[in-house]
Amino acid sequence: MKDFRNILPSVLVFVLCAIALHAADYRTDEVIVKFKSKGPLAASALSISEERPMVLAVDNTDKAIKELEESGEVEYAEPNYIIEAESVPDDWPYAGQWSQLDIEDAWDLLAQCQPGPEVVIAVIDSGVDGGHPELQGILIDGYDFASNDGIPEDNSGHGTKVCGVLGAAGNNGSGIAGVAWDVDIAVMPVKFMDKNSDGKTTGNLSDAIESIYFAVDHGAQIINASWGFYDYSRALQDAFAYAQSKGVLIVASAGNKGQNNDLNDHYPSNYPLENIIAVAAIDTTGTLATFSNYGPKNVDIAAPGVGITTTTMNGGYVAWVSGTSFATPFVTGIAAMVLSQTPEIDYVSLRQIIILSAGQTPSAGSNAIASGGCVNAYQALIFEEGSVDATKDIPSGVDPTQDAGTAYTAAHGSASGGGCLIGTSQASSLPFTMVPVMISIVLFRIHWRKDLE
C-alpha cells in the first residue's frame, strides 16, 4: 500500500499552487456589482443606469463579494476577471490556401452585385494601428477603455492583426487582402486589452463590459470578440444580452485549450444567447487545430486559424499567426458580406445562414462542432433566405461526453437561390457615458479602473 503520508504534502502544494493560479485570474482589489433597483445602496449610486453593473474598489475580493451577497441588496457580485486574447505564437509553422472558404468565388459574386449599405463592425480588442496603410478608409471613431481616452491605439498588435484579417485593403497591388475588403465596412476599434508585463494581451472584465455597451450604443451591427476566459460572469452575459436586444450579432472565439466546451466553461462563446456565433480554428486540410476548443453544442463553426498572414503594428505585416482569435474575423467578415447584400435580415437569420451554409469537412476533429465544417463565403451569399426558419433552433450535436473524433452530421438548408438583395440598413447611435460613483459600504469605495496593471 502506498504511504499517503508522503503523498499528502505534495498534494497540498499542488492545491495551493492551483489556488494561487486561479487567484491571479481576477483583480484582488475590485468586484463587479449590480445593485437591486430599490434600496439605499442603489439610491446612493448616482447617475448609474439601473440596467448596468458597476465596479467597486475593495480590500479583499472574496470577503467583499460575500458581504455584498449577504446584504440582500445586490442582484449579483462577482470578481473582475482578467480576460486574455486567444492567439498563439507568431511562429506557428504552417501555411495554406484555405480553399474551404470559397472566398474567391464570393468576391467574384460580389463584383457582379450592387454595393450594399455600410456595415458597422466593432472590433473589441487591443485597439488598432490607426496609421496602417492597409486599414485606411475603413476605421471609424472608437474608444480606449484601458486608458480611458478616445484614441484606441494598439501597443500589443493583437487588435491590428484581427482587423487585417477582417478588412485589409485588397486589389491594391501590395500587402494582403482582408476577407471583407470589397464590402463597405466601417470598423470601430474599441480597446480594453493591453500588453502586460509578461508580454500577453490581457484586459479587465469591467473594461470589456463597458466596451460592449459602447459598441452597441454607437451603432455596431456586428461585434468581433477574439478573446475569452474560463469563468462565468453574469455581468458580461447581461452585456451580450443587451447587444442581442438591440439586434447585434456577436462573433466570438471558442478558445485555445483544445478542450470540449460542452463539458468545460469558456466565455463569452458558451453564453446561451441567440446572437453568438462561436468559432473554432482549422488548418488548411480542414482538420481542427490541435489547440482549438470544440463542442457540438457550444461551438458553432470553424474557420482558418493556423498560419495566417495579416497586418501588425507600425504599418507592418506578420506571417504564421495562429489561434481562434484569427479564425473569428474570417466569420465576422463573411457575416458582413451577407449583411451588406441582405440588410433587412435580423441577427437570428444572419447567424443561421452562416452556420447552415458551412461546407462539410470530413476530418474527424472538425466534425465535433455544430455546423460540421468550415464557414463558406460563397454558399453563405447564395443561401436561400427563405430556407431559414428563425423560430427553429439549429440542431444540437452529438452527446457532449463524446470526444473530438466523433462524427457528427448537422441538418443543412438549401444552398440555392440568389444573393444581391439590396435594402436599407439602420444602425442606432446613442450617447454613452460612464459616471464615477462614490458610495460607502463594508470599508470599500466605488472606483472606475482606468489603467491595466
Q: Which residues are catalytic?
A: 125, 158, 325
Residue 313 in grid coordinates: 503594428
Cα dihedral value 318, 320, 155, 143, nearest 10: 100
Supply the DSSP symbol for 200.
Answer: -
Rg of the chain taking only CA atoms, in angstroms: 22
Residue 342 in grid coordinates: 441582405
Distance CA(211)–CA(216), nearest Å, equals 9
Q: Which of 428, 420, 351, 352 is nearest to 183 (CA)?
A: 420
Distance CA(414)–CA(418), nearest Å, equals 11
State phi, psi for 394 to the nearest 5 degrees. Answer: -65, 135
- 450 C-beta neighbours (distance < 10 Å), count: 13
Distance CA(348)–CA(276), nearest Å, equals 9
Q: Any idea what the Cα angle at residue 36 is, between residues 33 and 37, rounded to 5°?
A: 125
Q: What is the 3-state secondary structure (H, E, C) of 405-431?
A: CCCCCCCCCCCCCCCCCCCCCCCCCCC
